[in-house]
Amino acid sequence: MGFFSKIFNKSNTNSQEGNVGGMEDFMTLIRVYYQSAMAANLGITNLKFVPDMATFKRTLQIQTVNNKLGIAEKKACQKMMSQMYGINDDFFKEIDNSIKKNCKNMNDIQKYFYIFQGFNQDLMMLMGNLMQWKFRMPGMFKKLLRNMTAKTIHDILNKNDWSDLEVMRTCASIRKSRATLGYSEEWMTEFVYNVVTLAKKEPRKTSED
């Protein structure tokens, strides 16, 4: 378990700590960024509505800017992810635009996360199914793996002659969710590539674990 994920799951005291910046830390920071963007856009003042951002804020002692939650937290999270994972500004701009488009009020937040969760699960499941052994390539072939990831995502969004009916249905579901969320192929590639490469670095659990 990574540094941030361990902080965010204090009750799990028996977990082994993995490398700082691993997959769990990446996903934790993704949640922090989403919640920070929503707090800034919607003027959320109650930290209970943004629990991951609240923990991040307290842990790093981030001061509130202009009495508005989310602004400083979002900036700090973006800087950290850029330094740790090399994520570019366009990745965060797409998240901002997606939230601005879909979250007009507090009632929209739950619906947004429901759609995003389904989108994320379908995408990762289908990528694992379509790429299979390619995800197990040695780390030295990062550029090749990224290109393969981009090609597979392009196929998911554009190819219509799948022989497997279930794959076709999942592609249709991903395309529908993507149209709502507004993410580009480049964003999806960046997201999936980071999750996969970071997961490859995670220590394997023993049979005793």
Hey, where are the domains in the chain?
1-87, 111-202
Residue 187 has pLDDT above 70, yes or no: yes
Specify the long-range contacts of residues 128-136, CB closer than 8 Å, at least 24 apart: 129/167, 130/155, 130/156, 130/167, 135/196, 135/200, 136/200
Average model confidence (pLDDT) across the chain: 86
- pLDDT tens for residues 42-78? 999 999 999 999 999 999 999 999 999 999 999 999 9
Give the pTM: 0.85
Confidence (pLDDT) at 6: 60
pLDDT category at 81 given cuts 50, 70, 90 is: very high
